[in-house]
Structures are given as C-alpha cells and as structure tokens.
Amino acid sequence: MRHERTTMTVVIEPISANDHAAVLSLLENAELPTAGASEHISSFLVARDGDKIVGCIGLEAYGDVALLRSLAATKDVRGSGVGRRLVEGLIVRARSDGVSVLYLLTTTADEYFPRFGFERITRGEIDERVQASEELRGACPDTAICMRLGLSI
C-alpha cells in the first residue's frame, strides 16, 4: 500500500540547482558512478516526493546520440514505478532533444531495460561520440552490459 501512495505523490521533473548535492548523494548510496555526473547534471531528471529527492536519471547527449546514466531510487520507493516513470520521462526528453539513439551501461539491470525496447549490444557497437563519456572511459567496469534503444523522432 505504501508504494501506491508514494507513486501518486512523486513528481518527475528536471533537476534544479538546489538538487545537485542530493542527486550525487543518491548515486553514492546506490553505489553508482559519480564520475562525469556533475558535468551533465543539468540534464538530469529527478523524482521528488514533497521536498525529498527519491530518484534520479541522467542524460549525456553527444549530438544526436546519448547515454542514459545514473538511474537510482531510494530504497523506500523501489518497486513503486518511480524507476519506470524516470526512464519513460528520459526517453520523452531525449526524443524532444533530437536524440536518435540512446545507449546505457549496466552491471545489475540488464533484465530491466528490455521492457523499454533496449537491446543488448557489444561495447564496440556504441557510437564513438558516446565513447567520450566518463562511464565508458572507466567509471563503469568493462564487464558492464551495453544496451541500445533506437528512438523514432
């Protein structure tokens, strides 16, 4: 029951300047890489329950290709649909920003992302422009699974 209540009160919105520290703290608590996050934090979306940040997701754009990064939610809202709403919101934003292909790296959620249309690929199939990301230059381990989603604009 608590999850349903939380989902109804959570708002997904663009990050504000006052949210940066809370988002970095959330990433650290979720044991996700923070390298490169600050450089792209203005393109993050947050899940807000009142004045508390309960989730986040980031977009690193490189022309018309981008990296989905840093999907995280606090333990009290996991399983409530907040993650799904964050991913869906990011996909909408990426499309509206003219992104044609969205990539991601994951060590734990490779079974989660196919529901949004992501497919596994090899690291070598990631567009070379995205290779500039801190995530690909060492923040994520070489064992991370790579995924891709083509976006119809």
The CATH number covering residue 125 comes to: 3.40.630.30
pLDDT grade for 141, boundaries at 50, 70 and 90: low
Mean pLDDT over 19-27 rounds to 93
pLDDT digits (tens, 9 = 90+) for 84-97: 999 999 999 999 99
Work out the percent of the chain whose per-residue pLDDT is above 90.
59
What is the reported pTM? 0.88
Q: How far apart are CA 41 and CA 35, in angstroms?
A: 11
* Cβ-based neighbour number of residue 81 at 10 Å: 18
- Residue with the larger pLDDT of the pair 27 and 107: 27
Domain holding 35, by residue range, is: 2-150
pLDDT at 7: 43
**E-assigned strands of 35-144?**
45-49, 52-62, 65-73, 101-106, 119-121
Overall number of domains in the chain: 1
